[in-house]
Amino acid sequence: MLNPLSTQILSAMIAFPNAKINLGLRILKKRSDGFHDIETCMYPIGWQDAVEIIEHGKLELSITGLEVPGDDKSNLCIRAYKLLQKGYGLPNAKIHLHKIIPFGAGLGGGSSDAAFVMKIASEIFQLFLDDDLLEEVAAELGSDCPFFIKNKPAIAGGKGNDLTILNFNPDGYYALVIYPNIRIGTALAYKNVIPSADGISIEEALSYPIAEWRNHLHNQFEDTIFPAFPLLQDIKEELYQQGAVYASMSGSGSAMFGLFKEAPQTAHWSEKGYSIWSGKL
């Protein structure tokens, strides 16, 4: 499993927030608060950003790597730090984010960055906040954020922040994750979904051999996203043609992934100009 935090050096620390993929996703019903109840398995992968916090005279954010939309005030890293600052009187700091995980891909990169800012700040300034408390605070920022506190495979229910750690490890399998330069916002993804509680649970689907997941494990967002973005369905079909035992969209897209018994070939996808990550699960 991933080792997220580096060694503390004075009042500075660097960490490497990682992405996640969704193994199946069910949209069960629309809630009275406007959100949806979902069920999914979130699984951490090694596609990583880098974030550093240094005690500083004023609260600042600098970003390198991929472009991140929005201003500093709306950035999840700043919002995460301010939540702890308000609650625990933290000093100001400079946060530097090197962005590698694609944005708007269904990989949880922004949520991971925010969660790791909280974990770094808690360690640097010796708050000694336990994971359960950090999860509560992280939930104020977004549904995916609490997952990245413990950063272990989990079944996520409710809005996505009711987590049950899953003793599950597809040992020996490789993942190939492809971001085809299509950005899909959450609002767009949910726009045409038809919630349904029909079918088996995600946990039951995962109990089948991985070679049988294709018949049991489904991301319901594909039903409405694929007609709008047919390239994503083409990528899924090509992953199967290349030998994937299971292929799916992650979250609300647009990243697609395949699981392979052997290390997959990646040159074909790089030549298309897509962002990719491949590694063992």
Query: What does residue 208 show for φ and ψ, rounded to 5 degrees?
Result: -75, 155
Torsional sign, CA 32, 34, 38, 41: negative
Answer whether residue 6 shows pLDDT above 80: no
Residue 10 has pLDDT above 80, yes or no: no
Q: Which two tokens stand for residue 209?
A: 């051999």
Q: How far apart are CA 82 and CA 250, in angstroms?
A: 29
Tokens 């625990």 belong to 88
Cβ atoms of 210 and 246 within 8 Å: the answer is yes
- Under a CB-based contact definition with an 8 Å cutoff, are residues 82 and 95 in contact? no
Q: What 3-state DSSP class applies to 11?
A: coil
**129-165 tens-digit pLDDT:** 999 999 999 999 999 999 999 999 999 999 998 999 9
Region 31-49: mean pLDDT is: 94
User: What would the mean pLDDT of 103-117 be, rounded to a whole number?
Assistant: 96
3-class secondary structure, 216: helix
pTM: 0.93
20, 99, 119, 152: the catalytic one is: 20
Residue among 100, 110, 184, 181 nearest 148 (CA): 110
Contact 198, 191 (CB under 8 A): no
Do residues 116 and 147 touch, judged by C-beta distance below 8 A? Answer: no
Model pLDDT, residue 247: 98
Domains and CATH numbers, the chain: 12-165 (3.30.230.10), 174-280 (3.30.70.890)
Residue 131 is among the residues annotated as catalytic for this protein: no
Residue ranges in 63-206 assigned as alpha helix (H): 76-88, 109-124, 131-138, 147-150, 186-191, 202-206
User: Which tokens go with 89?
Assistant: 């009187």
pLDDT in tens, 176-199: 999 999 999 888 888 889 999 999
pLDDT score of 12 more than 90: no
Residue 254, preceding bond cis, omega within 30 degrees? yes
- pLDDT reading at 9 higher than 50: no
- State the alpha helices, DSSP H only, in 63-185: 76-88, 109-124, 131-138, 147-150
Residue type, 67: E
Q: What is the pLDDT of residue 274?
A: 97
**Per-residue pLDDT, 99:** 98
pLDDT score of 265 more than 90? yes
CB 51 within 8 A of CB 117: yes
Return the structure tokens found at 260.
Answer: 């392979």
Confidence class for position 168, pLDDT limits 50, 70, 90: confident
What percent of the chain shows pLDDT beyond 90? 86
Pairing relationship of beta strands 50-55 and 12-15 according to DSSP bridges: antiparallel
Answer whether residue 167 shows pLDDT above 50. Answer: yes
- Of 69, 75, 146, residue with least CA distance to 102: 69
pLDDT of residue 257: 98
User: What's the pLDDT score for residue 11?
Assistant: 67
pLDDT value at position 32? 87
How far apart CA 243 and CA 226 sit, in angstroms, is 21
In this structure, what are the phi and psi dihedrals at residue 266, rounded to the nearest 5 degrees? -115, -15
Question: Which is catalytic among the residues 49, 99, 119, 144?
Answer: 144
What would the two tokens of residue 128 be?
A: 């000694």
Q: Which of the pair, 64 or 171, is modelled with greater confidence?
A: 64
Is residue 71 among the annotated active site residues? Answer: no
HSE-up of residue 122 (Cα within 13 Å, Cβ side): 20
